[in-house]
Structure 1
Amino acid sequence: MAGNGGETTWCFSQVKGTLEDDVTEADLISCVEFNHDGELLATGDKGGRVVIFQRDPASKQCVPKKGEYNVYSTFQSHEPEFDYLKSLEIEEKINKIRWLKRKNQAHFLLSTNDKTIKLWKVSERDKRVTGYNTREESGRARDPARITALRVPTWRPAEPMVEASSRRIFANAHTYHINSISLNSDQETYLSADDLRINLWHLEITDQSFNIVDIKPANMEELTEVITAAEFHPTECNLFVYSSSKGTIRLCDMRAAALCDRHAKLFEEPEDPHARSFFSEIISSISDVKLSNSGRYMMSRDYLGLKVWDLRMETKPVETYPVHEYLRSKLCSLYENDCIFDKFECCWSGDDQRLMTGSYNGFFRVFERGTGGARRGELTLEASRDAASRPRQPLRPRRVATTAKRKKDEISVDCLDFNKKILHTAWHPHESIIAVAATNNLFIFQDKF
């Protein structure tokens, strides 16, 4: 399923969200996540809502298959809170969503805001109880004087209804804002990470967690780095990684000690002293780290690019992919408008051969790794409503002019819209279907064939 040069040819499938120009802050999508079989796709927003989309059964049966999703369930996951002890407002914004592997008819997912993690059960109900003794079918209480005989309630078929219910609330374990949650491969434990600590939880225990990483110094004036992301290994339940604002990634083994204050491996690329500038430390901070599905590789995203690391080699990345290197000359203005602190996420394709991450102006990048680490191609695509007018038509690759001489199909760096940023992306675990969050809209793209 490739186009010219071995690249996948992508086309527009769907867009979810309103067309309104005056989008409220609460409507902005803050995370996107497919479940393990790709049948469900969840989004969280800054208003604390979770929206779950379900794959349209008809779209899987047609030839070629289509990546089309319909709204399955919407529920309020988190509400705004106020910490009276610290006089601090706690936002309802959903920072992360993680699906549990399905074990029965119901679906389970974890969602978190800055302080509180919740376990949700999403299930379907297609039967209802009828024949109550004390109330009518409408729910209104019956007149006791009219009850002359006992009835045995029975189950009757009813219109299918999706219910979301909170099953567990994991709270009061983080002093700082939670930036990551990650389920372990044992499907019984998970980790949650904030700026200075990582905690280990059991899904059945809400009032107790184990602190497995603590980088808080005795004197906060000596603080030199913070934790930016953390993730469990996909198959080895004792291994996890976490990244820092200094551009390093640590691999920890929980078998070594209860507190993983000593890492098993440290992944760090030596800095070129000639390229050092005022912005070097800011742009080297890792905003996201993701282990490959096979568990052999690891991908990290810093401000300007992607790096792929082999877990068996700590000294340098095996692959480097510049995402928007043309912004290096704009770092001063990006610092002034705070864009330099944007946290871009990244994701792997199901076969670990492609990578995806976002950029500005509604652009996102897809890189083809090829075999043996060889690069086959890269694409810059745009998540825009214009694509919706050409469904099933190949997306036109976008190009940014890096010199004063601009070609006809290129856009100048000075014309980029830094308010239209693609921070959150997700890749279907088995198919070439991708989801891209653009402000309050969710775009779904798929390969042409």
Structure 2
Amino acid sequence: MVEGPDGRTPTWKFAQCFGDKGDTEDITEADIISTVEFDHTGNYLATGDKGGRVVLFERNENKKGCEYKFYTEFQSHEAEFDYLKSLEIEEKINKIKWCKRTNAAHFLISTNDKTIKLWKIYEKSLKVVAENNLSDTVSGRPAHPLSLANLRLPRMTLHDTIIAAAPKRIYANAHAYHIHSISINSDDETFISSDDLRINLWNLGISDQSFNIVDIKPANMEELTEVITAAEFHPISCNYLMYSSSKGFIKLADMREHALCDAHAKLFEEEEDLRERSFFSEIISSISDVKFSSDGRYIVARDYLTVKIWDIAMERRPIRTINIHEHLRPRLCDTYDNDSIFDKFEVVLSGDGKSVMTGSYNNNFMVYPNATDADAEEVEVMLQADKTAFKAKRVGVAAPIGRSAGRNGNGMGMRGLSPSGRGIMGGMNSARRDTDDTDFNKKILHMSWHPHEDSIAIAATNNLFVFSTL
């Protein structure tokens, strides 16, 4: 781990970039990355895009540090049309989750708005006939067709080895609304899928049957006041799951108590200050993403303006609230007019459960070391995943949030590279959180943290950036 100037906080460096296009004007909608996910070992990395493609990367063991190489690519979903509802179903990949590896093959599940698929990725040997009864002939006829001495068994030889992807299960027709979350249980046998109003429980081996375990749909849809925004299984206890609401609270449910988990075991909700209530209060309090720490002790939730970190043993208030877009609070009218206020930013925790990462505009993203330690100093590292941002070869360092350097931030920029994946060092830029300079079209929504080391993968439009402290 590379230590920063304070001797404790790691210094993040740009490691790699995949993607050969940089200008947003030249990017097609299908090329935009819509999800990023490390596997449980960190040796493989998956991305899904709006064109329904899944691209896998493999750790390059021949290189020092954190570097990946292209592994395989396949078309996971195709655009469909629901004739009963006259509704077009996009091929966009909403989520990818890796199954724990038990043999030489890899398994992962991917979903678009309606259909979940279980994929098997494996090495497939291509063989060709190297010798048979016609090998020694010119005319195409064997010289002595009736002679047993001249008969030969066909012999196959290895021609090539390819990486193949095959759909093993298709889980469909269980959601009336768009699927936004999937999560594999710690028992490695079941998983959940969630849409705006329902959460379904599946068995990985059974594709034609699911169980509805959460249903918040009212009898009269005119009485609908909230929707489910994210859902995830507890990483250790297979009976617990949590889901977040557009009203800004998180419910922890225990599947042992009831078949239908509408009654929560715990409720994590911070009381709103009525003096600060405004027209936008309900919108900005909607939680866009929620995650457990790897040990299940902490919950981190992201809304439009903040990241809240909860101790699972304390429901009254979060142990820490990190302001992300405080500079945009005076401009909520503008973000409402251009629909940016509805952006769904993800949040992730490091493998050790101590640090938190989330995204922002101008292709900025922030890392908060030791964020789950309520007594630790609140430190921010702001970096930038943008090919046009760097000039000098420097690195991003941490600064306390209270100081101007920490709040305005220094960013790290980098230029896009071809899929060969050769890395270059990023550079610093001023990347200040100036509301007048905010580019709402450049935003970091999707990211993933390596499960065992300080390496992160960032999706910036159609580019995949890798940062590391190694």
Structure-1-length-normalised TM-score: 0.90
State the partner residue of 2:183. Answer: 182
Shift of 1:161: 1.0
AA of the residue aligned to 1:274: R
State the partner residue of 1:444. Answer: 466
* 2:306 is the alignment partner of 1:305: yes
* 2:440 is the alignment partner of 1:418: yes
State the partner residue of 2:117. Answer: 118
2:14 to 4, 12, 33: 12
Whether the 8 Å contact between 2:133 and 2:142 is mirrored in structure 1 is: no
State the partner residue of 2:449. Answer: 427
1:38 to 39, 42, 46: 42
Shift of 1:18: 2.0
CA distance in structure 1 between the partners assigned to 2:252 and 2:463 by the alignment: 35
**Cα distance, 1:24–1:12 mapped onto 2, change above 3 Å:** same
CA distance in structure 2 between the partners assigned to 1:14 and 1:112 by the alignment: 27
Q: Secondary structure at the match of 2:444?
A: coil
Whether the 8 Å contact between 2:290 and 2:300 is mirrored in structure 1 is: yes
Shift of 1:153: 5.3
Shift of 1:416: 1.2
* 2:54 is the alignment partner of 1:50: yes
CA distance in structure 1 between the partners assigned to 2:165 and 2:331 by the alignment: 45
Whether the 8 Å contact between 2:130 and 2:157 is mirrored in structure 1 is: no
Whether the 8 Å contact between 1:95 and 1:112 is mirrored in structure 2 is: yes
Q: Deviations over 1:125-157 (max 9, x none)?
A: 345253698999xxxxxx899995876555533
State the partner residue of 1:86. Answer: 85
CA distance in structure 1 between the partners assigned to 2:320 and 2:131 by the alignment: 66
Q: Deviations over 1:382-405 (max 9, x none)?
A: 1111467767x4137786669xxx
* 2:248 is the alignment partner of 1:231: no
Q: Deviations over 1:368-426 (max 9, x none)?
A: 126743333111111111467767x4137786669xxxx98745221111100000011
**Cα distance, 1:285–1:130 mapped onto 2, change above 3 Å:** same
CA distance in structure 2 between the partners assigned to 1:394 and 1:409 by the alignment: 14
Gap runs ≥5 in structure 2: 399-404, 410-428
State the partner residue of 1:140. Answer: none
CA distance in structure 2 between the partners assigned to 1:14 and 1:292 by the alignment: 26
CA distance in structure 1 between the partners assigned to 2:174 and 2:334 by the alignment: 38
Q: Secondary structure at the match of 1:330?
A: helix
**Cα distance, 1:144–1:329 mapped onto 2, change above 3 Å:** farther
Q: Secondary structure at the match of 1:4?
A: coil
State the partner residue of 2:158. Answer: 157
Where in structure 2 are the equivalents of 1:40-439 lying within 5 Å?
A: 40-59=44-63, 62=64, 66-126=65-125, 128=127, 130=129, 152=153, 156-369=157-370, 372-376=373-377, 377-386=379-388, 393-395=394-396, 410=432, 412-439=434-461
Shift of 1:320: 1.1
AA of the residue aligned to 1:47: G
How many residues in Structure 1 have an aligned counterpart in Structure 2?
432
| Aligned-pair identity (%) | 58
State the partner residue of 2:421. Answer: none
State the partner residue of 2:426. Answer: none
RMSD of aligned residue pairs (Cα, Å): 2.5
AA of the residue aligned to 2:88: E
Shift of 1:311: 1.0
**Cα distance, 1:238–1:409 mapped onto 2, change above 3 Å:** closer
AA of the residue aligned to 1:289: V
Structure-2-length-normalised TM-score: 0.87
Whether the 8 Å contact between 1:113 and 1:178 is mirrored in structure 2 is: yes
Whether the 8 Å contact between 1:15 and 1:388 is mirrored in structure 2 is: no
Per mean C-alpha deviation after superposition, the further-off stretch among 148-157 and 250-259 is 148-157
**Cα distance, 1:54–1:134 mapped onto 2, change above 3 Å:** farther
Q: Deviations over 1:407-447 (max 9, x none)?
A: 98745221111100000011111111111111111111111
State the partner residue of 2:424. Answer: none
AA of the residue aligned to 2:264: H
CA distance in structure 2 between the partners assigned to 1:2 and 1:86 by the alignment: 56
